[in-house]
């Protein structure tokens, strides 16, 4: 009787609205099947009422049909858990790839534990979820649309090249799953640009841990901007032959050309060049989080080719090697908040170095440092670095042009008579002197120097 009423109601509704509606929806739980009204035709029940046939479109068990409607079901379009996920699981010398039910445009190739995923989508964001361990594997993801990379407890060592390579060029969200440790190690002597390579805009989040070892070139190389969100956990660069982190696109004043840290804990050590290099005229924005940087000889802890800005967070650096720079900006530096602590013991080393761009550089001028609220504590004990006829002095803070302070507290202790606490232009800051290159309008600047 119930099914006859259902049929009657359907026929009545069809007669009233067929001219206005285009589709019929047969609902079964949270699934539905849609038909064009013009294709429905007759609706018939089996003799025992156990099935219903809708034209030539199919037969359904009546017990499974909840409703037949002309309106799009309210649950339509609701994404089911995991339906757009691609699961990559490593297990020693092998790997498996499992596609979610809604993944339609991704092809996988597996060679041992080397996985290649190629996506042709131009409108669907898929999530690539990576887990498991291999000592001879890699992951390559290719495509032209944004994606999410979910690191869920993976340990990947490559013997042929990069451990991870995302060749996309779009926004890549990387999630470090809470409570997980994710480790990437590349091969020695390869041709790869880095161990962890992403050609795109990268946004890190999630409270897990990421460890990277770069045995050939950089540890991490990002094609455009790199952002650590407030929820980011711990990222540890354990080794790099060149830069620990290298990012940038090579476009002047490009909005997508920066290193930005809003949270998380970044540790960089055992690198051959710079800890973090926002290259190709990139900027650096420190808005939160903690950075612990061990700077190598002739390297920089934080290096940007244009403007450096700090509004919050904590930076700790150690410049124990000759010619090391804790922070170097090749234009202007703005220190508006947060805390900086550094030891500068290498010969010719500098804690904070504001450099002036040359006339041949696309970003020109600068060389000014503005301290508007950052609290800085530096211990300076390095001496002169002599190479041929050139002598490079050790400085706590050096502004090639002008030093300006309006807020914050700066304490510099110098224990080597050859070193300088704070220098602007060619002038050393001293409390008793008048120096036009120094503008102290607020805050506190204390320099205790062996040269005084």
**231 assigned to some structural domain:** yes
**437 assigned to some structural domain:** no
Q: Which of these three, 197, 229, 247, is where a domain ends?
A: 247
Distances in Å between the Cα of 371 and the Cα atoms of 140, 300, 327, 380 are 44, 20, 14, 19
**18 assigned to some structural domain:** yes
**6 assigned to some structural domain:** yes
115 and 17 within one domain: no
**What per-residue confidence (pLDDT) applies to 56?**
74
Distances in Å between the Cα of 232 and the Cα atoms of 176, 177, 192, 208, 331 are 7, 10, 26, 8, 29
Q: Which of these three, 214, 247, 280, is where a domain ends?
A: 247
**What per-residue confidence (pLDDT) applies to 181?**
98
**What per-residue confidence (pLDDT) applies to 433?**
59
**318 assigned to some structural domain:** no
221 and 107 within one domain: yes
104 and 53 within one domain: no
108 and 30 within one domain: no
Q: Do 198 and 221 form a contact (C-beta atoms < 8 A)?
A: yes
- What DSSP state is assigned to residue 163? S
Number of domains in the chain: 2
200 and 111 within one domain: yes
CB environment 338-349: b (16+ within 10 A), e (fewer): bbbbbbbbbbbb
| 116 three-state secondary structure | strand
**What per-residue confidence (pLDDT) applies to 13?**
44
21 and 91 within one domain: no
89 and 62 within one domain: no
121 and 229 within one domain: yes
First to last CA, the chain: 103
**What per-residue confidence (pLDDT) applies to 6?**
45
92 and 11 within one domain: no
**192 assigned to some structural domain:** yes
137 and 22 within one domain: no
Q: Which of these three, 193, 225, 247, is where a domain ends?
A: 247
**What per-residue confidence (pLDDT) applies to 364?**
85
How confident is the prediction along the chain (452 residues), in pLDDT tens digits per residue? Answer: 444 444 434 444 444 344 445 788 888 877 778 778 777 777 888 888 888 888 777 788 888 888 888 787 776 666 677 899 999 999 999 999 999 999 999 999 999 999 999 999 999 999 999 999 999 999 999 999 999 999 999 999 999 999 999 999 899 999 999 999 999 999 999 999 999 999 999 999 999 999 999 999 999 999 999 999 999 999 999 999 999 999 987 666 566 789 999 999 999 999 999 999 998 888 999 999 999 999 999 999 999 988 999 999 999 999 999 999 999 999 999 999 999 999 999 999 999 999 998 887 878 899 999 999 999 999 999 999 999 999 999 999 999 999 999 999 999 999 999 999 999 998 998 876 557 899 999 999 999 987 65
167 and 58 within one domain: no
95 and 45 within one domain: no
Parent domain of 10 = 2-69
């Amino acid at each position: 009787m119930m099914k006859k009423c259902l049929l009657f109601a359907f026929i009545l509704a069809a007669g009233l609205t067929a001219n206005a509606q285009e589709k019929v929806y047969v609902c079964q739980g949270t699934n539905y099947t849609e038909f064009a009204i013009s294709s429905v035709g007759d609706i018939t029940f089996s003799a025992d009422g156990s099935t219903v046939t809708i034209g030539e479109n199919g037969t359904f068990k009546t017990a499974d049909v909840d409703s037949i409607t002309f309106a799009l079901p309210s649950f339509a379009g609701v994404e089911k858990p995991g339906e757009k996920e691609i699961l990559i699981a490593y297990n020693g010398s092998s790997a498996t790839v499992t596609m979610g039910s809604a993944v339609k445009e991704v092809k996988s190739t597996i060679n041992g534990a080397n996985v290649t995923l190629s996506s042709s989508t131009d409108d669907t964001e898929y999530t690539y979820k990576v887990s498991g361990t291999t000592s001879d594997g890699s992951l390559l993801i290719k495509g032209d649309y944004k994606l999410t990379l979910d690191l869920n407890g993976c340990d990947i060592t490559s013997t042929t090249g990069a451990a991870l390579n995302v060749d996309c060029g779009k926004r890549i969200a990387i999630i470090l799953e809470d409570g997980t440790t994710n480790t990437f190690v590349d091969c020695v002597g390869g041709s790869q640009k880095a161990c962890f390579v992403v050609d795109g805009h990268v946004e890190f989040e999630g409270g897990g841990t990421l460890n990277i070892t770069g045995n050939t070139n950089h540890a991490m190389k990002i094609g455009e901007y790199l952002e650590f969100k407030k929820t980011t956990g711990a990222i540890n660069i354990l080794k790099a032959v060149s830069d620990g982190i290298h990012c940038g696109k090579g476009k002047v004043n490009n909005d997508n050309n920066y290193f930005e840290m809003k949270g998380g804990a970044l540790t960089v050590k055992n690198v051959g060049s710079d800890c973090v290099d926002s290259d190709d005229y990139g900027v650096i924005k420190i808005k939160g989080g903690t950075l612990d940087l061990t700077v190598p000889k002739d390297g920089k802890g934080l290096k940007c080719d244009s403007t450096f800005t700090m509004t919050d967070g904590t930076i700790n650096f150690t410049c124990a090697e000759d010619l090391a720079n804790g922070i170097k900006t090749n234009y202007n530096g703005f220190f508006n908040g947060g805390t900086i602590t550094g030891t500068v013991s290498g010969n010719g080393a500098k804690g904070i170095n504001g450099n002036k761009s040359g006339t041949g550089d696309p970003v020109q001028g600068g060389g000014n440092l503005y301290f508007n609220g950052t609290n800085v504590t530096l211990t300076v004990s390095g001496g002169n670095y002599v190479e041929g006829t050139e002598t490079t002095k050790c400085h706590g803070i050096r502004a090639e042009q002008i030093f300006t302070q309006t807020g914050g507290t700066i304490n510099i202790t110098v224990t080597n008579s050859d070193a300088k606490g704070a220098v602007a232009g060619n002038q050393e800051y001293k409390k008793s002197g008048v120096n036009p290159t120094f503008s102290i309008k607020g805050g506190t600047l204390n320099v205790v120097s062996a040269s005084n």
